[in-house]
Amino acid sequence: MKCSPILAALAGTYSLLNTTSQHNGTPIPDRAYGASPVGVLIYTKSGFMSATISATEPELRPANLTFPYTDEQADADWALVGKHSIGYAGHLSVSSAFPATKTRG
């Protein structure tokens, strides 16, 4: 597989600093991740990526949970964590169909 110079430049592991969500150019609230999300993003030069993002607010992250889970932990508490977390991975490509500038595209 030929490595794109853009993918090679992006390759690495990053800590999430913030999120911004928009729909058709209009900002929308990031209800899923709360006001101060944390996460890790990984990009490879061969064209793959993965991300994990979670809310940090105490009311969205029950303190009584441990990993691995124990039988006395409520499913509702784990469901709350799942409702405010996401993990995904897949193929990443660069398209020349969109105009690019130094900050967009």
Q: What is the pLDDT of residues 56-79, one digit of tens each?
A: 999 999 989 999 999 999 999 999
Domain residues for the domain of 51 are 5-56+84-91
SS (HEC) of the chain: CCCCHHHHHHCEEEECCCCCEEECCEEECCCCCCCCCEEEEEECCCCEEEEEEECCCHHHCCCCCCCCCCCCCCHHHHHHHHHCEEEEEEECCCCCCCCCCCCCC
Residues 84, 33 contacting (CB under 8 angstroms): yes
- pLDDT for residue 1 is more than 60: no
Closest to 78 (Cα-Cα) out of 92, 66, 94: 66
Q: Tokens 């508490």 map to which residue?
A: 77
Residue 42 lies inside a defined structural domain of this protein = yes
Lookup: tokens for 28? 């929308």
How many independent structural domains does the chain possess? 1
Does a structural domain hold residue 26?
Answer: yes
Give pTM, 2 decimals: 0.77
As given in the structure block, the two tokens for residue 21 are: 């969500």
Which has more confidence, 40 or 95? 40
77 domain residue, yes or no: no
Considering the chain, what percentage of its residues have pLDDT values greater than 70? Answer: 96
Does 78 reside within a domain? no
User: What confidence tier does 105 reach under pLDDT thresholds 50, 70, 90?
Assistant: low
